[in-house]
Amino acid sequence: MNTTDRVCAVTLDEGTVARRGPEIDRERKVAIFDLVEENHFVLEGRESAGPYALHLSIVDNRLVFDVRREDGAPVVAIGLSLSPFRKVVKDYWQICESYYEAIKHAMPSRIEAIDMARRGLHNEGSDLLRERLVGKVALDDNTARRLFTLLCVLHLR
């Protein structure tokens, strides 16, 4: 993998990050850590190469990818409407709440079933994110999954 086709730093707009408890805060931290450790992020149709510093925010009902060079110089801002993500994000957080509750009290078979549903929704959301970024950014599966997690954290109200 080309070492320039990646994100080297990720920040979230703390003004839009909802604090919803330790589980969600942990999801956010793990997604950022894992994303920075291993990712594939290529700006399509651009000659500028990374690595990139990525700032994610929500502005006017749009997810904004503020892509900068490692030194902070602006490269591009990409906005995606949140409308296509509403249902999958809502469903994902509902199943996450069930999962967090189940791990406290439920039998392992119940936890596993809920986790499978949770992973399925997560995959659906990350696939949608990749589709919406076609022609703008090329991502691998794991990068899309981690970015979807961060979209969900930002989308919480």
At 100-142, the pLDDT tens digits run 889 898 899 989 999 899 999 999 999 999 999 999 999 999 9
Please count the CA atoms within 13 angstroms of the CA of 21 that sit on its side-chain side.
6
Average pLDDT over residues 90-96: 90
Q: Exposed, middle or buried by CB within 10 Å (0-12, 13-18, 19+), for 35?
A: buried
Average pLDDT over residues 21-47: 89
Angle, alpha carbons 135-89-24 (nearest 5°): 115
Average pLDDT over residues 68-93: 94
Instruction: Quote the percentage of the chain above a pLDDT of 70.
Output: 94
Contact by Cβ (8 Å): 133, 148:
no
CA dist list (Å): 78 to 17, 68, 136: 19, 11, 8
Question: Which of the 8 DSSP states describes residue 83?
Answer: G
User: Which H/E stretch holds residue 98?
Assistant: helix 86-105
CA pair distance 61, 55, nearest whole angstrom: 16
Share the mean pLDDT of the chain.
Answer: 90
Q: Which residue has the higher pLDDT, 49 or 156?
A: 49
Question: Which of the 8 DSSP states describes residue 61?
Answer: T
- Nearest of 97, 72, 75, 106 to residue 152 by alpha carbon: 97
